Amino acid sequence: MKLPRLLLFAVAMSVGVPVAAQQTSQGYKFLEAVEKEDGNTVTNMLDTPGSSVVNAKQVTSGKAALHLLVTHSGSLFFQFMLQRGADPNIRDDKGNTPMVLAALAGREDLVRLLLTYKANPNLGNAGGQTPLILAVANRDVPLARLLLTEGANPDQTDNLAGMSARDYAKRDARNPILAQLLATAPKTARRATVAGPKF
């Protein structure tokens, strides 16, 4: 009697491992196709019944498709991923959302797309740096204006220096237009509900 139970256990274990490996493998293949902007492969994988690869993450960095696509020129594939259900607020291992990376790269086109798909402009990374703080650090007036118009909190502080976008703009005398923009931005009545991931 012991032998059949042992055999059943061994069979059950051998079936479980390939399924997990297959899911990891599918995520890897999906992200590889995204990097190459291989539309046919990506579409076929997304159209597979029961597929959940749209928000797959790299094992080493936690980056998902949207994180990877921030570095690509153009925005059509990025928009396609959002249309197919990619999470606009997904975080990598450093707490970066796609909008944080887009702001860091000065990609106003991607920030606009993310806002259209309900991305939260007040989500900061592990250091609490929000897209607005990064726009101010880059002296990117059009991006800062866009973020403020879309509800970015100018008084939300980071975890690094305890300073807000308004504070950083006030300290930077080299960009009076940005300083004026942030100085006249309305004060927010409450802090954003999420400033960054909790560790």
Last residue of a domain, one of 78, 94, 110: 94
What average pLDDT does the segment 84-91 reach?
Answer: 98
What's the predicted TM-score (pTM) here? 0.82
Residues 182 and 132 in one domain: yes
Kindly state whether residue 99 falls inside one of the protein's structural domains.
Answer: no
- Examine the pLDDT at 17 and tell me if it is beyond 70: no
Residues 181 and 127 in one domain: yes
Kindly state whether residue 193 falls inside one of the protein's structural domains.
Answer: no
CA distances from 88 to 60, 102, 120, 165 (A): 20, 11, 8, 22
Contact 75, 115 (CB under 8 A): no
Kindly state whether residue 173 falls inside one of the protein's structural domains.
Answer: yes
Kindly state whether residue 106 falls inside one of the protein's structural domains.
Answer: no
Residues 82 and 130 in one domain: no
Residues 125 and 83 in one domain: no
CATH of residue 144? 1.25.40.20
Residues 38 and 90 in one domain: yes
Q: Is residue 123 very low, low, confident or very high in pLDDT (cuts 50, 70, 90)? A: very high
CA distances from 30 to 10, 22, 43 (A): 31, 12, 10
Specify the amino acid at residue 188: T
Specify the amino acid at residue 155: D
Nearest CA-CA partner of 73 in 31, 119, 37, 39: 37
Which structural domain, as residue segments, surrounds residue 165? 121-187
The confidence score (pLDDT) of residue 173 equals: 82
